[in-house]
């Protein structure tokens, strides 16, 4: 029996997964047995270990994975001079898509080795693109952790520890999220027995759209346009009167506030309290409050609340990242989750091939009889 198509596959289960659980009613995100709040207290490398090996690392294992990612960043950086055209794209996600597609992974590499190469490459290529768009030379990787090295490769200087902790929290928070559109894209490609690079390239394309990972830049544009908390009401009202979507609000699965919004809001609070960065938390909160109330009045059945992108925008801005780098930074964290899904899909070994309902014309009976 064919399924209705207008639902965007909402509520359709397409895979069994051990990787993450998104409970939209309770507002809960569980990643391989840890709540997102627990995962976000550690480093990105710790979260990668959990995703790729299925267990939290010992101190020795964490050190080993950290070193392997460092070495892979060095290998990826060697490719940067050859990526001229790919990295000259004006959009960071276009640059990532084009540059990652030029990777060739060693055929003998196991799934963790492939995940390491891809995760390192996205980090290095995103930061090299950010430098290039500002007319700056790429900064070579160093012996830092992944988050610290990313900030260093973007800014050219070591970031304060509070910034590194905040970015680690962010990368862990976005590492995986159920059957989101980019993960689904990666799994569809893998299910055809294609390769990991192709799967990640497809996922990058899906993440780019503003209904998925492309929202945080526009969130910041909105905060700029609002300007001050007391102007939030008139701005949001005008947007809704023009039938525009408020970026960073609403979610396909959550019917309460996205749990990742709490984690990122907390990370921003700590960052502001450390005195090492000045974010726009109070303006963001004012806009969120007004948007939530207005959307509730407009869609009483739907509960459109802040999603991860809302606080991504203000957190990454506080870390000095340019807004055009927000979605590539999302990819820098999510690529680790895509790689875990690629492996899980490969084990499942089943082609994903849904059906469509044809609503176009059928051949006329005369042309059938003459053919």
Active site residues: 251, 309
Quote the CA–CA distance of 218 and 248 in Å, as a whole number. Answer: 8
Site string for ligand COA, 155-174 (x = CB under 6 A): --------------------
Answer whether 338's CB lies under 8 Å from 219's CB: no
Residue least distant from ligand COA (Cβ): 250
CB closer to ligand COA out of 175 and 215:
215
Assess 304 for contact with ligand COA (CB under 6 A).
Answer: yes
Alpha helices in the chain (DSSP H): 36-39, 44-53, 59-79, 84-87, 92-100, 111-133, 146-155, 161-173, 181-191, 196-208, 216-226, 232-241, 259-274, 281-298, 308-318, 326-348, 365-370
Answer whether 307's CB lies under 8 Å from 248's CB: yes
Look at the chain and count its residues: 371
Answer whether 267's CB lies under 8 Å from 170's CB: yes
Assess 255 for contact with ligand COA (CB under 6 A).
Answer: no
CB closer to ligand COA out of 164 and 315:
315
With CB under 6 A as the contact rule, the residue among 246, 277, 290, 318 that binds ligand COA is: 246
Q: How far is the CB of 323 from ligand COA (least distance, A)?
A: 15
Cα Rg of the chain, angstroms? 21
User: For ligand COA, which stretch binds (CB under 6 A), given 39-47, 88-96, 301-309, 311-319?
Assistant: 301-309
Burial, 129: exposed, middle or buried (Cβ in 10 Å; 0-12, 13-18, 19+)? buried
User: For ligand COA, which stretch binds (CB under 6 A), given 167-175, 220-228, 299-307, 333-341?
Assistant: 299-307
Assess 22 for contact with ligand COA (CB under 6 A).
Answer: no
Assess 309 for contact with ligand COA (CB under 6 A).
Answer: yes
Quote the CA–CA distance of 85 and 104 in Å, as a whole number. Answer: 18
Assess 179 for contact with ligand COA (CB under 6 A).
Answer: no
CB closer to ligand COA out of 32 and 251:
251
Half-sphere exposure (CA, 13 Å, Cβ side) for 236? 26
Q: How far is the CB of 69 from ligand COA (least distance, A)?
A: 26
CB closer to ligand COA out of 66 and 180:
180
Site string for ligand COA, 208-227 (x = CB under 6 A): ---x---x------------
Q: Which residues, in sequence order, are CB contacts of 71 under 8 Å at separation 6+? A: none
Assess 189 for contact with ligand COA (CB under 6 A).
Answer: no
DSSP-assigned letters across all residues of 131-154: HHHTT-PPPPP-SS-HHHHHHHHH
The closest of 43, 9, 322, 62 to 169, measured between CA atoms, is 43
Answer whether 153's CB lies under 8 Å from 119's CB: no
CB closer to ligand COA out of 52 and 254:
254
With CB under 6 A as the contact rule, the residue among 147, 206, 249, 339 that binds ligand COA is: 249
Answer whether 267's CB lies under 8 Å from 166's CB: yes
Q: How far is the CB of 126 from ligand COA (least distance, A)?
A: 19
Q: How far is the CB of 22 from ligand COA (least distance, A)?
A: 11
Number of residues that bind ligand COA (CB under 6 A): 18
With CB under 6 A as the contact rule, the residue among 42, 248, 259, 279 that binds ligand COA is: 248
What residues form DSSP beta bridges with 29? Answer: 22
Quote the CA–CA distance of 275 and 50 in Å, as a whole number. Answer: 32
Q: What is the binding site for ligand COA (CB under 6 A)?
A: 8, 211, 215, 245-252, 295, 299, 302, 304, 307-309
């Amino acid at each position: 029996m064919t399924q209705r198509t207008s639902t965007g596959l909402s509520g359709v289960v397409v895979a069994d997964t051990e990787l993450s659980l998104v409970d939209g009613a309770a507002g809960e995100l569980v990643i391989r047995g840890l709540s997102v709040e627990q995962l976000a207290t550690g480093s990105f490398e710790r979260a990668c270990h959990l995703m790729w090996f299925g267990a939290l690392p010992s101190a020795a294992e964490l050190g080993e994975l950290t070193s392997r990612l460092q070495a892979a960043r060095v290998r990826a950086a060697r490719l940067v001079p050859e990526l001229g055209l790919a990295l000259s794209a004006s959009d960071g996600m276009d640059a990532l898509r084009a540059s990652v597609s030029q990777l060739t992974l060693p055929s003998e590499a196991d799934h963790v080795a492939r995940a390491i190469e891809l995760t390192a490459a996205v980090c290095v290529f995103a930061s090299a693109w950010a430098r290039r768009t500002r007319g700056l030379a790429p900064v070579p990787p160093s012996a830092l952790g992944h988050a610290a090295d990313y900030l260093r490769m973007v800014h050219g200087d070591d970031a304060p520890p509070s910034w590194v902790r905040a970015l680690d929290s962010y990368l862990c928070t976005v590492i995986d999220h159920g059957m989101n559109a980019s993960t689904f894209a990666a799994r569809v490609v893998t299910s055809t027995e294609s390769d990991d690079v192709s799967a990640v390239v497809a996922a990058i394309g899906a993440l780019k759209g503003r209904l998925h990972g492309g929202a945080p830049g526009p969130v910041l544009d909105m905060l700029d346009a609002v300007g001050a908390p007391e102007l939030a009401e008139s701005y949001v009202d005008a947007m809704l009167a023009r039938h525009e979507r408020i970026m960073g609000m609403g979610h396909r699965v959550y019917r309460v506030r996205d749990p990742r919004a709490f984690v990122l809001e907390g990370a921003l609070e700590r960052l502001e309290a450390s005195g090492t960065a000045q974010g726009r938390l109070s303006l963001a909160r004012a806009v969120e409050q007004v948007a939530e109330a207005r959307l509730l009045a407009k869609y009483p059945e739907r509960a459109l609340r802040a999603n991860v992108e809302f606080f991504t925008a203000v957190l990454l801005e506080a870390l000095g990242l340019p807004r055009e780098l927000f979605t590539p930074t999302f990819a820098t964290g999510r690529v680790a989750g895509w790689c875990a899904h690629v492996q899980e899909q490969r084990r499942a070994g089943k082609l994903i091939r849904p059906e469509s309902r044809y609503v176009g014309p059928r051949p006329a009976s005369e042309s059938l009889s003459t053919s």
